Amino acid sequence: MKNISLSGDIDFIIDDIKNTVGDKKLYVAFSGGLDSSVVAILSKMALGSEKVELVTTKFDFTYPQTIEIVRKFSSDARLKHVFVDGSQWQRQIWKSGPACNACTRGPKLQSVKSYAKDGIVATGAEFEDTWGQQGIKINDGIYSPISHLSRSQVQEIADLLGLKIEKIGENSRREGCILKHLLKMMTSEFHGKAVYESNVQLMNIVKSSLTNFSVANVKIIGPLSKNFALVNLQPLPSPELLTEIKNIIGAIPQIEKTEIVNKSIRLKIIANPGIYNDEKARYWIENGRLKSDFAFPICLEWEISKNNRLNTFQIVDYEFIP
C-alpha cells in the first residue's frame, strides 16, 4: 500500500470496512488490547454502533482485570459487548502442551465466529502477526482490516483517535491470557490452579505497589508431578517487595518451589520430534515465545521428548547461570 498520512490511512480503512461488510453485521473479536480496540472504534466510525458488536472469548484462565477492561471499553464506546466461552476447548489444547497459536485459531476465533453466525468477524491482526505477514485480509468470514499496518502505526492511529489502552500490568508491550505462562502440559487442575493463582496474586501485588513493570509474570515449569514458579519482574523491585512476592506465591498449595528470576537462566526444554527437528520452530519458541516474557536473558537446553502425548514443548527444569 502506498505511503499516505495517518488520517488518509484511517479513511482508507473506514472505506474498506464499509465495502467489506456491506449489509451484514460486524463482530469484533475483542481482547481489550491495542489492536482490537483500534478495530472496534474504526468499525463504529465506518458502520455505526448498531452494526458493530464486540465479542470476547472468555476462559477459566482469563485475567479478572481483562474482564474489567473490556467491559469498561465497551461501555465508554457505547458498543454492545458479549462474552462467549472457550474454556473446555482451551483445556483440551493445553493437555498436549503450550499452543497459543492453536488457541487463537481455535477457541478464540471460532467461538466468536460461531456466535456471529452469518456475520463477518473482524480481528486486530496487524502486519507483525502471522496472519498479517501472510497477506490475508479476509478468509472464511474472518476479516483483518489493519493487517497492512505495523504495530507502531496502529499505536499512532490510537493516539490520533484519542484512545488510551488500559493494561493488565503483565507486559508493557503485548499482553495475553494467563495460560501462556504455563510452560508444560496441563493434564490436571493441579497445573491450571498453579498458573492462575500465582499470576492473579502477582497482578494484585503489582497494582497495589503502584510500580510500572515492563515484565511481570509467573512462569510455571517443571515435570508433570511438580510445579516450579519462576517470578519475572523487570525492573526488579525492592528486596522487601521481592520477599513478600516470594512468600505469597510460595504459599500456593500447588507450587513446589518459587524462584525470583534475577540473573540469566538456562531452561531445560523437551519438545516433540516435529519441533525438535525444526530449527525455525525452535528459534521461534526461544526468541518469539519466551524471551520477551523473561526478566533476564535465557538459553535453552533442548532434548527430544519421549512422551507421545506432548504435541509441543515443556520446560522441565532450570538453573541460574553464574
Strands (E) across 105-221 are located at: 120-122, 138-139, 142-143, 215-221
Question: At residue 131, does pLDDT exceed 60?
Answer: no
Q: What integer pLDDT is reported at residue 4 of this predicted model?
A: 45
Domains along the chain?
Answer: 6-161 (3.40.50.620), 178-320 (3.30.300)
Question: By the 8 A CB rule, do 251 and 284 touch?
Answer: no
Among 1, 42, 230, 211, residue whose Cα is nearest residue 143 = 42
Phi then psi for residue 80, to 5 deg, are -65, 140
Mean pLDDT of 152-172: 93
**What is the pTM for the complete model shown?**
0.90
Q: Can you tell me the distance from the alpha carbon of 116 to that of 134, in angstroms, rounded to the nearest whole number?
A: 24
pLDDT tens-digit map of 70-80:
999 999 999 99
Q: What integer pLDDT is reported at residue 6 of this predicted model?
A: 65
Question: At residue 7, does pLDDT exceed 90?
Answer: no
Q: Can you tell me the distance from the alpha carbon of 14 to that of 152, in angstroms, rounded to the nearest whole number?
A: 19
CA dihedral over 178, 184, 188, 189, signed as positive or negative: negative
Q: What integer pLDDT is reported at residue 129 of this predicted model?
A: 61
C-alpha cell at 300: 535453552
pLDDT tens-digit map of 202-247:
999 999 988 889 999 999 999 999 999 999 999 999 999 999 999 9
Q: Can you tell me the distance from the alpha carbon of 26 to that of 2, in angstroms, rounded to the nearest whole number?
A: 27
